[in-house]
Structure 1
Amino acid sequence: MQNDKPLLPRRKFLGNLTKAGLFGAATLAPGARAAATAVSDPEAASAADAHTFLCQPYLQHPMPDGMTVMWLSNKPTYSWVEYGESEALGTTAHHASGGIVDSYNTLHRIRLSHLKPGTTYHYRVHSKEIVEFRPYKLTYGDTLVSDIHTFTTPALKPTEVSWLVINDIHDRPESIPHLTSLAKQPYDFVFFNGDVFDYQEDEKQIIDHLLAPAGKAFASKTPFIFTRGNHETRGKYRRELANYFDGSYIFDRVWGPVHFTVLDTGEDKPDDHPVYAGIVNFDEYRRFQAENLKKIVASPGFKKAKFRVVMMHIPHYYSGDWHGPTHCREMFADIFEKAGVDLFIAGHTHKMGIHQPVKGQHSYPIVIGGGPKDGNRTLIQVKATDKDLRLVMLKDDGSEFGKVDLKSKR
């Protein structure tokens, strides 16, 4: 379950300007420069002002009876979802809280509830521009309508689950469609295991480097789940990042034969390191998670699961002796060991590895995905049934790096 960069669209835009045009505009006074730009390219100015979607709809929080649809528009709107079991659709949903319907916003999150388990639904999203919002007068503009997409809700008691894991792509959006295209079997969700970004700069970065490429590749049909890496804790937009997902960076859940535990490992350096300027508190955050983890492993869902899988960004072994990894080991290792974890999946090191159990350290395989550069990127694909769990790590050329095969102990 749950990140410098010149942004690519801006680089492409600048690359299309001629040197003469660029320097010519730069020599004008600001007012004259704006006027010259407007006169010289009125179509571009009109296109820039057009009402548009900023990404395709993307799916979040899959459950047997519900699915969350999210998307962004470039102008404030009133938005809703049409959905149904056929392309005729027939049902609409919007989000309301305290008697007020979400409106005059650009980030849209609408939960579709009371769905049937194991059922395919068709849906499309609508965003009606609000051009004027006064206390007693609201004026609408054009309405955007997406294509019709489909998703399938999880079964109520699925006999298997399959998922992909991507980690440490570090603001390389082209890696998302490339890596997901390597999948050799269907999958129920994609898990982003941290450091999708170098740091959090603004909304455009989140759209261009995650939401847009994921939407085009898979996320309008198949949901994804996101947890932070240490890089997603950095930058002026770090606190806003969570708004773009429906869920928490830390959670646990049973899906078919698997109990998933997802933790947020925080930063890799001490809280008092100068680079953090006194505004982080990750040691306490990890202590809180450790106390919660004790409750998770004592739960019936964890105890009865055929397989117990933990996913988090920083591995507590095989990642050096920096403070983050060693504190994770101090907080979590004994709990994992005593609880009988079956499989652990991480990233962070940029060094792909499958580490089999080591007596006196960890009694379960530790799988660590690769790093961001071509030739070092990985896709981890896992499928579990009541009897077997099989993990395969693929390199970015599609070749197999290694695998893990487990039999259920319960």
Structure 2
Amino acid sequence: MKENLLKGNRRNFLKGGLVLGGLAVLKPEQVISSPLNDRYEDFRIITGPYLQTNFGNSISILWITSKDSSSWVEYGESPDQLDKKAYGKSDLGLKPAGRLNCVKLERLKTGVTYHYKIVSKEIKDFQPYKLTYGDTISGNIESFLNADVAKDEVSFVMLNDIHDRPKSIAHLLDLDKGNKRDFIFFNGDIFDYQTDERQIIEHMLQPCVDYFAKSTPFIYVRGNHETRGKFARDFADYYDHVGYTAFTLGPVRFVILDSGEDKLDSHPVYAGIVDFDRYREEQAAWLENEINRKEFKKAAFRVVLMHIPPRYSGDEHGAVHCTELFEPIMNRGKVDLVLSGHTHRYKIHPPDKKLNNYPIIIGGGPRDGSRTLTKINATNKQIQVSMVDDSGKEVGNYLVEKR
């Protein structure tokens, strides 16, 4: 009964919306229509820059232009001397020449602040033996700190289950205003489903650019809702990374898992064109190797971030599959903390010696009164977690001490 109530609470969150086959249908005024770039005849930067990284002395700078372009980043250690230039990754010897720009700055110096500027040159005509350029445009000079991966302390905040409520991003981050964070983590279901480019820009990228993303990187893993809709297969093109990965920052080994959809692969709404079971099995094999890596074993703490929690999220197939695949491996690997979303009910679940040997902290959302911001600070001795609701009131806290 409790599991069914939880599932119902999560499913019936859209105000005045309909639900068909488990997929939310927005009101007409909420529907995203044509791609945003169709509205522009001139050449311009539609959004950006925004930063992503895995903290390996590199950072990815992304932006979107209204038309195809040749693009690059000029950067350096002084705003008055941007003496280095970097382009997007070549594919088979061909530099990028499109609208979605991702330039990775590599071999950066540890603990150094870099200044940068994005530049794009319009491609007006692309013939087999003649390319005609148009205007060249650039952004303002921005800056970021290349973090020292060997630092003694790491801090970040987690947002989850925004569900196409872009104003929630600034609202929740305002609850942490004035604090310097190493990164912002988006733990899935930032959207209801994937419709088009305009939705991705207006409901996530632009709010991030406006608030923090020019100078502070974000990390993002899909939720089950990001797997839905006609634009789901284009979704990843707008980010440097949205799948599973692992990285070390300070005393923490971070492991990110993409929990996929919570429905059966055979569900009629997918018409036979998804394979999340195999995708999760692929991750389980990868995770088995990860827990045996020296970076994982030697870390003071091991933190897993995944949208669907490995327990306490109902009896849908995807949730059960996550428990079956990931929980035994995380127990063997002595994971210290799991951070999740999905249920729309914030909750702190302490370790259970018979089930999960680690605490599972679940953020809330997406409606007013149930939205949360989760703040995490980790040192070599402990991890402190504080969860606040959208009024700023602390609704949960937890302390993980080094074993």
Q: 2:288 aligns with which of 291, 294, 310?
A: 294
Q: Which amino acid aligns with 1:116?
A: K
Higher helix share: 1
Q: 1:101 aligns with which of 95, 99, 119?
A: 95
What is the CA-CA distance between 1:156 and the residue it aligns to?
4.1
Query: Please, which moves more after superposition, 268-277 or 159-168?
Result: 268-277
1:123 and 1:359 map into 2 onto residues whose CA distance is: 50
Q: Which residue of 2 aligns with 1:394?
A: 388
Q: Is the 8 A contact 1:7 1:205 kept in 2?
A: no
The number of residues matched between the two structures is: 372
Q: Which residue of 1 aligns with 2:78?
A: 86
What is the CA-CA distance between 1:172 and the residue it aligns to?
0.9
Q: Is the 8 A contact 2:55 2:249 kept in 1?
A: no
Q: Which residue of 1 aligns with 2:119?
A: 126
What is the CA-CA distance between 1:4 and the residue it aligns to?
5.3
State yes or no: 1:52 paired with 2:44. yes
Q: 1:373 aligns with which of 352, 359, 367?
A: 367
Q: 1:155 aligns with which of 148, 168, 187?
A: 148
Q: Which amino acid aligns with 2:105?
A: L
Query: Please, which moves more after superposition, 47-56 or 199-208?
Result: 47-56
2:149 and 2:391 map into 1 onto residues whose CA distance is: 36
Q: Which amino acid aligns with 1:137?
A: K
Q: Which residue of 1 aligns with 2:59?
A: 67
Q: What is the CA deviation profile of residues 199-258 of structure 1, one whole-angstrom value per residue up to 9, with x for unaligned ones? A: 111111111111111111111111111111111111111111111111251011111100
In the superposition, the TM-score normalised over structure 1's length comes to: 0.87
1:216 and 1:290 map into 2 onto residues whose CA distance is: 37
2:396 and 2:170 map into 1 onto residues whose CA distance is: 22
**Cα RMSD for the two superposed structures:** 1.9
1:51 and 1:373 map into 2 onto residues whose CA distance is: 38
2:259 and 2:54 map into 1 onto residues whose CA distance is: 24
State yes or no: 1:177 paired with 2:174. no
1:17-32 equivalences under 5 Å are: none
Q: Is the 8 A contact 1:62 1:154 kept in 2?
A: no
1:323 and 1:90 map into 2 onto residues whose CA distance is: 53
Q: Which residue of 1 aligns with 2:6?
A: none
Counterpart secondary structure, 2:140: coil
Aligned-residue sequence identity (percent) comes to: 48
Counterpart secondary structure, 1:260: strand
Distance 1:110 1:8, change over 3 A: farther
Q: What is the CA deviation profile of residues 70-108 of structure 1, one whole-angstrom value per residue up to 9, with x for unaligned ones? A: 0001111111111111111222211234332222x1100
Query: Which blocks of at least 5 consecutive residues in structure 2 are unaligned?
Result: 1-23
Counterpart secondary structure, 2:212: helix
Distance 1:364 1:62, change over 3 A: closer
Q: Which residue of 2 aligns with 1:199?
A: 193
Q: Which residue of 1 aligns with 2:11?
A: none
What is the CA-CA distance between 1:150 and the residue it aligns to?
0.6
Q: Which amino acid aligns with 1:402?
A: G
Distance 1:191 1:4, change over 3 A: farther
Q: Is the 8 A contact 2:55 2:248 kept in 1?
A: no
Q: What is the CA deviation profile of residues 293-312 of structure 1, one whole-angstrom value per residue up to 9, with x for unaligned ones? A: 11111111111111111110
What is the CA-CA distance between 1:389 and the residue it aligns to?
0.8
1:155 and 1:303 map into 2 onto residues whose CA distance is: 20
State yes or no: 1:350 paired with 2:344. yes
2:71 and 2:176 map into 1 onto residues whose CA distance is: 34
In the superposition, the TM-score normalised over structure 2's length comes to: 0.88
Query: Which blocks of at least 5 consecutive residues in structure 1 are unaligned?
Result: 12-44
What is the CA-CA distance between 1:403 and the residue it aligns to?
0.8
Counterpart secondary structure, 2:46: coil
Q: From the CA coordinates, give the structure whose radius of gyration is larger.
A: 1
Q: Is the 8 A contact 1:4 1:199 kept in 2?
A: no
Q: Which amino acid aligns with 1:286?
A: R
Distance 1:164 1:4, change over 3 A: farther
